[in-house]
Structure 1
Amino acid sequence: MSSSVSHPLFARYYARFSHSLERGIARHRRAMLADLSGTVVEIGAGNGLNFAHYPPTVTRVIAVEPEAFLRGIAERAAAAAPVPVTVVDGLAERLPVGDGECDAAVASLVLCTVPDVPAALAEITRVLKPGGSLRFLEHVRSPNPTRARAQRLLDATIWPRLGGGCHCGRDTAAAIRTAGFAIEQLTHLSTADTTMPFPASPQILGTAIRPH
């Protein structure tokens, strides 16, 4: 199975549009990454917008990005990062990282795009040390029934095609729990908190722990 993913139109749009959202999202990225240390694997690093926010206690970031255009931008962002970042090709369902190699994993606006979320979470479990943490910032299914129905309709029709495989109505917190992680912190965010509009709203920000 190839590790390459090609979304050329979306990748170019996202590379431009994502920066306009940073005024609302950057502080949540910092909160997500606060107090991390050691070796970190970042799943779906995109164009590297997290890199500037890693604390100096992180000794190495393995940034996995399968989309070639975004990976090229991430490589340039890695050169300016405050910590060592290595950008690599790879899929969330088959991470190019050894068993138990990482102290923490980061999933930021990526689990919405993964074709097989349970497989991706199983891979995160594999590469984390026992007791390692998964930090996540993801947009999820709305608790409003009308909006949730709209998200389901979009996910079944045009949204994945427009959004590079994105599914806007996933219950990511439930998936993380089902994978065996213990969620220690969970904050619910809205468009007012992040400036991300519906259907990519609401969002969750949190920390989950891999069981020993």
Structure 2
Amino acid sequence: MNTEVNHPRFARMYPKLAAWAEEHGAQEHRAESLAPATGRVLEIGAGHGLNFPHYPDTVTEVVALEPEETLRELAREAAPKARVPVTVSDGVAERLPAGDASYDTVVCSLVLCSVRDLPTALAEIRRVLRPGGRLCFYEHIRSRSRGFAAYQCAVDLVWPHISGGCRVSRRTDRAIPGAGFTMKHVRHFRFPPGRNPAPTAPFMIGLAVPE
């Protein structure tokens, strides 16, 4: 499998775009999604490290994977500021550089929309989780409204090419239980709120465990 991820223009632009979202509620979303994390954590697609300040004291160690070189270097700069030990490494979701049953928690924040092979990525997450482990997720998803979902599918003809492979119409909320996880908690919401929602507006935050 080709593990190279190279989106230099998007990587330079993303921190500026993300800063607006953080100021308007995304920080609270990250804290909410990470609250159940415990023990040894594997974070997939860490970006430039926006999750790092929000890990709770129940976490003993974070291994943060980021395959995009520009974002990975920014994450390494952010890691020393975290409240818990964070190591940043290269790696893709479809081939996690980890042994079987080696993590207590896997974290996915705004990344499952852009992995190349979602079923394989979720199978890898199941593989590396220890018995009783948990998947903490914060993701945008396809709308449950047929009209808005059709709009998202149309947007996806262009969106992945300008947004680092992100797909706004991906049914991640169905893919997680379809991959052998039980949803223990999930909250659906729209972000940012408004009369003219962005194509990424349907979101979910939750916790899932392997069956």
- Report the TM-score range of the alignment, normalised by the length of the smaller protein: over 0.9
The CA deviation string for residues 63-100 of structure 1, in whole angstroms up to 9 with x for no partner, is 01100000000001111111001111011000111111
Against the structure 1 CA distance between its residues 9 and 192, is the aligned structure 2 distance closer, same or farther, given a 3 Å change threshold? closer
Return the alpha-carbon distance in structure 1 between the equivalents of residues 106 and 175 of structure 2.
16
The CA deviation string for residues 105-129 of structure 1, in whole angstroms up to 9 with x for no partner, is 0010000001100000000000000
Question: May I ask how many residue pairs the two structures share in their alignment?
Answer: 209
Q: Which residue of 1 aligns with 2:55?
A: 54
Return the alpha-carbon distance in structure 1 between the equivalents of residues 54 and 77 of structure 2.
15
Q: For the Cα contact (< 8 Å) 2:113–2:139, is it kept in 1?
A: yes
Identity fraction in percent:
50
The one-letter code matched in structure 1 to 2:169 is G
Return the alpha-carbon distance in structure 1 between the equivalents of residues 142 and 114 of structure 2.
14
Residue pairs, 1:1-212, within 5 angstroms: 1-23=1-23, 24-155=25-156, 157-192=157-192, 197-211=197-211
Return the alpha-carbon distance in structure 2 between the equivalents of residues 88 and 210 of structure 1.
25
Deviation at 1:4, TM superposition (A): 2.5
The one-letter code matched in structure 1 to 2:204 is I
Deviation at 1:3, TM superposition (A): 2.7
> Which structure 2 segments of 5+ residues have no match?
none
Return the alpha-carbon distance in structure 2 between the equivalents of residues 193 and 109 of structure 1.
18
In the superposition, the TM-score normalised over structure 1's length comes to: 0.95
Q: For the Cα contact (< 8 Å) 2:141–2:203, is it kept in 1?
A: yes
Worse-matched range after superposition: 64-73 or 28-37: 28-37
Secondary structure of 2:186 counterpart:
strand
Runs of 4+ in 1 over 4 A off after TM superposition: none
Superposition RMSD on alpha carbons, in Å?
A: 1.5
> Which structure 1 segments of 5+ residues have no match?
none
Return the alpha-carbon distance in structure 2 between the equivalents of residues 43 and 165 of structure 1.
15
